[in-house]
């Protein structure tokens, strides 16, 4: 594995600052949350209600998962690193070991289809808007799309209640200023300096997040002369989009928009697999091919609570960086000094 070229202080880098070996209350919060998520979300997806059609695989998976959480709870000292990223790695590793490669596949496909139906209208709305309104819509869309997250209790509840529709969510975002609000500085950078040469956009969820939030913003950047790489997981994790899924999905987005189609065709907008297999990301454990292909990037965009807040929020980079997310977990919100569904739009120039 390789380290992101733009990462500074790689020897001291820790993707997650929240040390759950030293925080017993925090550790037990995450153990309880991952137990709940297993029983309420993962198991119903891999084992249809009232059936046992997998030859006992789901029962074996469940037993091993609970045993792993018991071990984390009882013997935290044995882990060199104990953080939220480790919890997700345990879950994804056990799913793969028991042959459940992508429990969220059908949900992702359904969300993608729903978002694709809305994409022409979203692009038309952006086209008709004034420059100022267009920028506000792009930022709001990026955050509204991020509500589709099946790894957090609050957004799972919204999904079940049917309250995660894109336009309704965009209309009910918290008013500015957000918990971290560098939106004006972000747009001022585009107004006062030449466009970035190459933006690497670490994307998050399938559905409205990628199609209605990330793709329109990437399209806007391409139109302003920036080459954009959409960086996605190499293997499934929750309802995150994977690189293998995103390539064909981007082609379908291009079918409704000529600029997108041309940008994909000539390589100004492309997809790259990061090598990551979790909702959070360790920027020292990336695919060597990905690192080589993004070495010249002068803008990094970390999107979603996992990649931008639970991991990498205080990391220093050698290029301009944007962190964007909606906070969808109570403990993460408290630690960040905010509340559920607070928005983060943080922009910083390259560290010296």
Does the residue 10 lie in any domain?
Answer: no
pLDDT value, residue 149: 82
Q: What is the mean pLDDT of residues 293-309?
A: 98
63 and 196 share a domain? no
87 and 209 share a domain? no
Q: What is the mean pLDDT of residues 199-223?
A: 98
pLDDT value, residue 54: 61
30-50 pLDDT tens trace: 999 999 999 999 999 997 644
Looking at residue 52, which CATH number applies to its domain? 1.20.1700
* Residue 191 structural domain: 105-348
Q: Where are the alpha helices (DSSP H) in 98-182?
A: 105-128, 131-145, 153-161, 166-171
CA-based nearest residue to 218, from 207, 235, 234, 203: 203
pLDDT value, residue 148: 82
With cut-offs at 50, 70 and 90, classify the pLDDT of residue 51.
low
156 and 244 share a domain? yes
Q: For residue 286, what are the β-bridge partners? A: 2
Can you read off the two tokens belonging to residue 338? 């905010």
Q: What is the mean pLDDT of residues 159-175?
A: 81
Does the residue 311 lie in any domain?
Answer: yes
Whether residue 242 is predicted with pLDDT greater than 70 in this model: the reply is: yes
Percent of residues, the chain, with pLDDT higher than 90:
91
Total domain count, the chain: 2
Q: What is the pTM for the complete model shown?
A: 0.96
91 and 116 share a domain? no
Looking at residue 305, which CATH number applies to its domain? 3.40.50.10880
Whether residue 262 is predicted with pLDDT greater than 80 in this model: the reply is: yes
Whether residue 220 is predicted with pLDDT greater than 90 in this model: the reply is: yes
Does the residue 11 lie in any domain?
Answer: no
155-165 pLDDT tens trace: 887 776 555 58
Q: What is the mean pLDDT of residues 318-342?
A: 97
66 and 128 share a domain? no
CA-based nearest residue to 332, from 155, 145, 172, 144: 155
Does the residue 46 lie in any domain?
Answer: yes
Does the residue 160 lie in any domain?
Answer: yes
How high is the mean pLDDT of the chain? 95
**Tokens 């042959």 belong to which residue?**
99
323 and 204 share a domain? yes
Letter string b/e over residues 114-129, b meaning 16 or more CB atoms within 10 A of that residue's CB: bbbeebeebbeebeee
Whether residue 71 is predicted with pLDDT greater than 50 in this model: the reply is: yes
pLDDT value, residue 161: 55
């Amino acid at each position: 594995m390789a380290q992101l070229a733009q990462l500074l202080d790689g020897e001291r880098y820790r993707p997650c600052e929240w040390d759950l070996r030293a925080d017993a209350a925090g550790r037990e919060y995450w153990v309880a949350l991952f137990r709940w998520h297993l029983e309420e979300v993962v198991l119903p997806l891999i084992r249809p209600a009232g059936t046992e059609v997998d030859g006992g695989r789901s029962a074996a998976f469940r037993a091993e998962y609970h045993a792993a959480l018991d071990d984390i709870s009882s013997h935290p000292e044995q882990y060199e690193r104990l953080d939220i990223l480790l919890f997700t790695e345990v879950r994804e590793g056990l799913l793969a070991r028991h042959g459940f490669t992508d429990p969220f596949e059908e949900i992702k496909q359904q969300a993608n289809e729903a978002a694709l139906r809305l994409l022409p209208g979203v692009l038309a709305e952006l086209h008709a808007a004034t420059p100022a309104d267009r920028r506000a819509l792009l930022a709001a869309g990026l955050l509204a799309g991020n509500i589709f997250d099946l790894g957090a209790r609050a957004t799972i509840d919204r999904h079940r209640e049917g309250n995660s529709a894109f336009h309704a969510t965009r209309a009910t975002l918290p008013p500015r200023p957000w918990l971290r609000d560098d939106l004006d500085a972000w747009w001022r950078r585009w107004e006062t300096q030449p466009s970035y040469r190459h933006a690497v956009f670490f994307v998050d969820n399938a559905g409205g997040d990628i199609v209605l939030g990330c793709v329109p913003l990437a399209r806007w950047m391409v139109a302003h002369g920036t080459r954009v790489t959409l960086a996605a997981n190499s293997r499934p994790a929750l309802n995150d989009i994977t690189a293998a899924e995103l390539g064909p999905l981007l082609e379908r987005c291009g079918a409704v928009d000529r600029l997108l189609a041309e940008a994909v065709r000539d390589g100004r907008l492309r997809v790259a697999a990061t090598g990551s297999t979790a909702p959070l990301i360790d920027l020292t454990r990336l695919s060597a091919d990905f690192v080589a292909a993004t070495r010249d990037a002068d803008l990094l965009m970390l999107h979603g609570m996992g990649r931008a807040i639970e991991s990498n929020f205080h990391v220093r980079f050698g290029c301009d960086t944007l962190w964007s997310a909606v906070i969808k977990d109570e403990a993460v919100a408290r630690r960040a000094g905010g509340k559920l569904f607070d928005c983060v739009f943080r922009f910083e120039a390259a560290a010296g």
